[in-house]
Homo-oligomer: A and B are copies of this chain.
Amino acid sequence: MIVEIDFNSDEAIYIQLRNQIVIGIATAEIREGESLPSVRDLAEHIGINMHTVNKAYSILKQEGYLQLDRRKGAIIALDPEKYDARLAMMEDLRVILAEGICKEISCEEVHRIVDLVFREFKREV
């Protein structure tokens, strides 16, 4: 799995990292049971500080994407029951769909875009 950090982005590095790992899990680039690089290795590879990686891993753990083992490292272990994901998604979608309505994107168009992204992610499963 390739991690690309945009250092000019307005998004924090640990957020970018967290998002890319979530996308990596969704697209099955990394699968359940597999492990991520250690915080030190990944930090060195990207060229950032260890604590920044650790912050991303901690968030992913708290959100139910990872299990962190002091001896084995970071292992993908999905816990769908961690929180109400449907409610969270609805909250996130609220702003995006409001933008879409203002830009005259129809509900049908949104459905098409959703399908497109789903197909992109589910391609190789």
Contact = CB atoms under 8 A, between A and B. Distances in A.
| Copies of the chain in the assembly | 2
A115 interface: yes
A2 interface: no
Interface string A112-125: 01111110011000
Nearest to A85: B103
A78 B102 CA distance: 7
Interface residues of A, number: 41
A95 B19 contact: yes
A114 B114 contact: yes
Given A85-B100, A89-B110, A116-B90, A22 B105 contact: no
A124 to B, nearest CB: 13
A26 interface: yes
A80 interface: yes
